[in-house]
Amino acid sequence: MNNPQLVKVFLASSITELKDERHNLSALGEDISNIFSHDEIVVRIVKCENFHAGNLGSHDQEIIDQKLRDCDISLFVFKTKAGEWTRHEFAVARALQRKQKQEKKQAHRIFVYFLRVPDEQKDPSLSAFQQQLDSDGVFWKECDSPSEVKYQFSMGILTHLGITVGGHAREAEAASKSADELFEQYEEKMAKLQQPIHQAIDEQLAQIPTILADDSQLISARIVEVMGIYQKADRWASKTDYDKKKYSDLLFKYADFLDDYGMYYDAEAVYLRQISLAEDLYGKEHENTAASYNNFGVVYDNQGNYPKALEYYGKALAIREKVLGEDHPDTAQSYNNIGFVYFEQGDYPQALEYFGKALAINEKVLGKDHPSTATSYNNIGGVYDEQGNYPQALEYYGKALAIKEKVLGKDHPSTATSYNNIGEVYRKQGDYPQALEYFGEAIDIDKKVLGEDHPSTAISYNNIGEVYRKQCDYPQALEYFEKALAINEKVLGEDHPSTAISYNNIGVVYDNQGNYPKALEYHGKALVIREEVLGEDHPDTATSYNNIGAVYKKQGDYQKALEYYGKAMAIHEKVLGKDHPSTATSYNNIGAVYKKQGDYQKALEYYGKALAIREEVLGIDHPNTATSYAHIGSTYYQQEKYPEALEYLEKALEIRKAKLGGEHPNTKNTQRWIDLTQAAIGEKSSF
């Protein structure tokens, strides 16, 4: 045998209580080596039989610890007690495992098994050790017999070696005579072992919906448990001849789970493998492959990687147009998804074009009263909403609502979404009573249909909280934002992007109240999640930088404010481009700092950059364009250039009256600036 692969296993257990089991486990190493001799694999069990706990010295224990560290695997077996030295050896193994993981090395594997005994025979040390394992997140298994321990551990060895268990039936049969009855049975039928493994995969996957719905556990615990199931299923499916179509579906669901819980970069890696499998199974021009491309696009969309999202949405669209036809609902879905990317990039004409294509297909194929047609109306309404064309937005949102109430019923989550969208338009228009009415309808449906602890209910709470914030009712705003936070933490976890939104909203309220330390605390929490989950170059991360910059500006720390506003601007320019509305927001914020510092030329420079983008992308009659006119006008006022100030302020007032109405706070504020400017002009002319 030339350079065999040596796997060293450290066996840790009570020498006296488990003497026979230790002997049999030692023989197991020889059995496995014989079975896989053609693969040049040797499994060596390392035991320290010559040391006795009664006279063990510190030097002796150091020798044992070093033997353990020299091994690839540690196997711990317990029966009625967890002895002091065995617990010590576990601590050594665990420390070694953590160290190797930090160093990005092949991590030391640990297997822990407990032989089942009646409770009255168990020493308190055993339960205490099991609790320690649970709190440390270490998997352990209780076995009914020593034979089961041997079988479970042999499967663990195979996992470590990356061996497909069905490929060595002949060698297994030859070696089976040396093992006890149960292990003989498994070795003799190793070629058939794949069947129970595949059955176990299916059974484990079937448990996932129940686990996720079990709100008696913290969501973080449920996510970890489900993650473990997917990882194990993925591992075993990849090492056996698991049905390829089922494996593709497994990866599809695994990636979808990761995406749902904000693990976008992990989802990306799984989807890459799923796409490769789908291409092998169906070819590159099959509708199932198109579905894989589409979902991969969703992951990139969530990451804020819009070029990649467009690339994969485009691949899906090309296949669907060719295979399914231009008038197929799946083709309409691709048009919608591409439209969303353009919407997020601030390219509203392109977004409208693609949403319009989707609408035409849905109306033609599904009819004018179909939920998918309502979705298209909703999407088009969203574009008009962002463009500040509130009458058009209300028209399309209203069309979507009418279909949903007719087809789905008033008590449907999708109907609640339409109420939320209409409420949002009224909020932007400053019609807060109408906004609260529609948000109230939405939350009543969400609570009735989805329950108090659902992410959609949290969204409705957030929307209501934002209305109260706009009305300066900060206690009420905090109450609703904190309700949303509690749901998101409970249902989605503490590190989910939606939880970051709740932290962000609470931080804004504290900012409005002038409680700047609290504002920075919550904005900091949001930033940590966004940097960790979404990445440092995500638009939501830029939002956190902007918010932190705003707090520093109010505190008068202008250097810090410029630092954070600059970070946000860099992300916006890099990811969204220099002509995006969010980039304009960054320019506007930087201009505001220079204005506070009395550097009016710099302020006008950045305000001018923001205005140019807004006029070009949003139009000359958008509320945000009015904001730029107002800022430029007030800066000219500070410079005592009153005619120029009046020109820009009057432009702002005209837009705000038309779009927001005469009673909106922004409209009234603009009128006050005009009054001041006209008074200053009058005073100047009187000299």
What does 393-458 look like in DSSP terms, one character per residue?
HHHHHHHHHHHHHHHT-TTSHHHHHHHHHHHHHHHHTT-HHHHHHHHHHHHHHIIIII-TTSHHHH
In the predicted model, residues of the chain with pLDDT beneath 50 are 50-56, 163-193
Contact 478, 466 (CB under 8 A): no
pLDDT at 424: 93
Burial (CB count within 10 angstroms: exposed 0-12, middle 13-18, buried 19+), residue 485: buried
73-78 and 41-46 beta bridge pairing:
unpaired
Give the position of tokens 């962000």.
504
DSSP assignment letter at 80? S
Q: Which two tokens stand for residue 157?
A: 């060895």
Going from the C-alpha of 53 to that of each of 45, 48, 551, 584, the distances in angstroms are: 20, 11, 62, 72
Burial (CB count within 10 angstroms: exposed 0-12, middle 13-18, buried 19+), residue 643: exposed
Q: How many helices (H) and strands (E) does the chain have?
A: 30, 5
Q: Which two tokens stand for residue 187?
A: 């070795």
Find the helix packing angle between 181-188 and 146-161, rounded to 10°: 40
pLDDT at 664: 85
pLDDT at 169: 35
Q: d(Cα 7, Cα 33) in Å, to the nearest integer?
A: 10
Contact 275, 289 (CB under 8 A): yes
Three-point CA angle 643, 645, 648, nearest 5°: 110
- Among residues 359, 343, 267, 356, the alpha carbon closest in space to that of 306 is found at 343
Q: d(Cα 165, Cα 196) in Å, to the nearest integer?
A: 11
One-letter amino acid of 8: K
Domains of the chain (ranges, CATH numbers) = 5-192 (3.40.50.10140)
Burial 259-288 (b: 16+ CB within 10 A, else e): bebbbbebbbebbebbbebbbeebeeeeeb
pLDDT at 291: 92
Find the helix packing angle between 287-303 and 244-260, rounded to 10°: 20
Across-strand partners of 332?
Answer: none
pLDDT at 393: 94
Q: d(Cα 175, Cα 318) in Å, to the nearest integer?
A: 55
Report the residue count for the chain: 687
Torsion (CA) 431, 432, 435, 436 in degrees, nearest 10: -150
pLDDT at 38: 57
First to last CA, the chain: 107
Judged by DSSP in three states, 232 sits in helix
pLDDT at 36: 61
pLDDT at 583: 93
Q: d(Cα 263, Cα 135) in Å, to the nearest integer?
A: 23
The secondary structure of 537-561 as a DSSP string is: TSHHHHHHHHHHHHHHHHTT-HHHH
pLDDT at 619: 86
pLDDT at 2: 62
